[in-house]
Amino acid sequence: MSATIATPTPSRLRLGLRAATIAVILLLALMPVLNRLPADHALHISDFVVSITGKWICYAILALAIDLAWGYAGLLSLGHGAFFALGGYAIGMHLMRLIGPRGVYGHPVLPDFMVFLGYTDLPIFWWGFQSFPYALFMALFVPGVLAGVVGFLAFRSRITGVYFSIITQAMTYALMLAFFRNDMGFGGNNGFTDFKELLGMPLNAGGTRAALFYASLATLVGTYFLCAWITRSKLGRVLIAVRDAESRVRFLGYSVTQAKLFVFVLSAMISGLAGALYVPQVGIINPGEFSPGNSIEAVIWVAVGGRGTLIGAALGAFSVNAMKTWLTTIAPDLWLFALGGLFVAVTLLLPKGLLGLLRGRRS
């Protein structure tokens, strides 16, 4: 028996990757500082770059959430954009309540769109959203409950693979259609915008933007450690086992339904948090965020970066979005072809994504 096949050791590459990750995080942390430099300074970074990077950080959090579910537990959700959007709507409702009498119609309580649509009272599901902790709680709770219900029904009935993906896709599409309706009470196709302030700070002030940027960066790092802790625990190994041989896991006595439900709900909550950080930074949320294309794009980030690697998912979110920004500036019509081409190319040539390319044969 040959027992001499080398076991993979933590290579210099992996240590290098870790160092590079820390360096990137430090550089990101420096961006709002460099933004404060005079505009003619060589190291000055423009508002545009800082704000777009803040968006990408939120996307990277979403990518981590998708990687946790897809890369480890094999749950390919094509509807994670819905959880992201719900988190965004929850914080958007808070921001709308804070506008108060400063709206166009000057109503003390009702947001403009409600006055316009002839509402006389605030709908019950809007109650409480003047409180920031409540809105933040709902940004996690609503996606979590939705994932819990959809997941429970799907996993209990042993719906797996592509069928599960289709159900999640239908979920986000149904929500998009629902949120487009004016009588849903979420502002119809205009959604929410014209936000004024958050936690007493004006949203258009430089300091607020920097604070949101740092909050997102801290959440990204925190989410990474949470996901890393889970994937390195025995639960992480159970999830990998579920991904690769689901029925065998059942015969070992594990409840596959419980394991999947745990990871799917947690992943949805992380996505909701990402959406909650995203909306104050972009200043708008509308039903377009539910469009199936958004969810699919997010899955492509993870595929490009390398699924089942966490770091790769975040890397994919940054690199694909950088490419999108660049390409939609020089040749907007080409972007969707490039995105599709990228997905095909990665699937065929780089099944482990960019990170797989760096790491070589390991994992």
Partner 1 sequence: MSTKGRLYLDGVSVVFDGFRALNNLSLVVEPGEMRAVIGPNGAGKTTMMDVITGKTRPTSGTVRFGDHDLTRMDEADIANLGIGRKFQKPTVFDALTVFENLELALKAPRGPFACLRWILTGEAKARIDQVMEETGLTARAGDLAAILSHGQRQWLEIGMLLMQDPQLLLVDEPVAGMTDQETEHTAALLRRIAGERSVVVVEHDLEFVRALGRKVTVLHEGTMLSEGPIDQVQNDPRVIEVYLGR
Contact set for partner 1, span 226-245 (CB under 8 A): 230, 233-235, 237-238, 240-241, 243-245
Q: Assign 130 to helix, strand or coil.
A: coil
Q: How far is the CB of 254 from partner 1 (least distance, A)?
A: 5
Q: What are the contacts of 6-10 at 24+ separation with CB within 8 A?
A: 8/361, 8/362, 8/363
- Other beta carbons less than 10 A from residue 297's beta carbon: 19
Comparing C-alpha atoms, which of 46, 68, 13, 87 is closest to residue 229? Answer: 68
Q: Indicate whether 129 belongs to the interface with partner 1 (CB under 8 A).
A: no
Q: Assign 202 to helix, strand or coil.
A: strand
The DSSP bridge partners found for residue 192 are: 285
Q: Which is nearer to partner 1, 153 or 344 (CB)?
A: 153
Q: Indicate whether 10 belongs to the interface with partner 1 (CB under 8 A).
A: no
Sign of the torsion angle spanned by Cα atoms 133, 139, 145, 148: negative
Q: Which is nearer to partner 1, 179 or 264 (CB)?
A: 264
Q: Which is nearer to partner 1, 253 or 332 (CB)?
A: 253
- Distance between CA atoms of residues 244 and 249, nearest Å: 9
Q: Name the segment binding partner 1 (CB under 8 A); options: 1-9, 167-175, 289-297, 322-330.
A: 1-9
Q: Which is nearer to partner 1, 38 or 253 (CB)?
A: 253
Q: Assign 84 to helix, strand or coil.
A: helix
Counting Cα atoms < 13 Å in the Cβ hemisphere of 347 gives 8
Contact set for partner 1, span 144-163 (CB under 8 A): none
Q: Indicate whether 330 belongs to the interface with partner 1 (CB under 8 A).
A: no
Q: Indicate whether 46 belongs to the interface with partner 1 (CB under 8 A).
A: no
Q: Which is nearer to partner 1, 118 or 361 (CB)?
A: 361
Q: Indicate whether 348 belongs to the interface with partner 1 (CB under 8 A).
A: no
Contact set for partner 1, span 250-289 (CB under 8 A): 250-256, 258-259, 262
Q: How far is the CB of 244 from partner 1 (least distance, A)?
A: 6
Q: Indicate whether 182 belongs to the interface with partner 1 (CB under 8 A).
A: no
Q: Indicate whether 14 belongs to the interface with partner 1 (CB under 8 A).
A: no
- Distance between CA atoms of residues 285 and 86, nearest Å: 10
Sign of the torsion angle spanned by Cα atoms 99, 103, 105, 111: negative
- Distance between CA atoms of residues 13 and 185, nearest Å: 52
x/- track of binding to partner 1 for residues 191-230 (CB under 8 A): ---------------------------------------x
| Residues in touch with partner 1 (CB under 8 A) | 1, 3, 5, 7, 230, 233-235, 237-238, 240-241, 243-245, 247-248, 250-256, 258-259, 262, 363
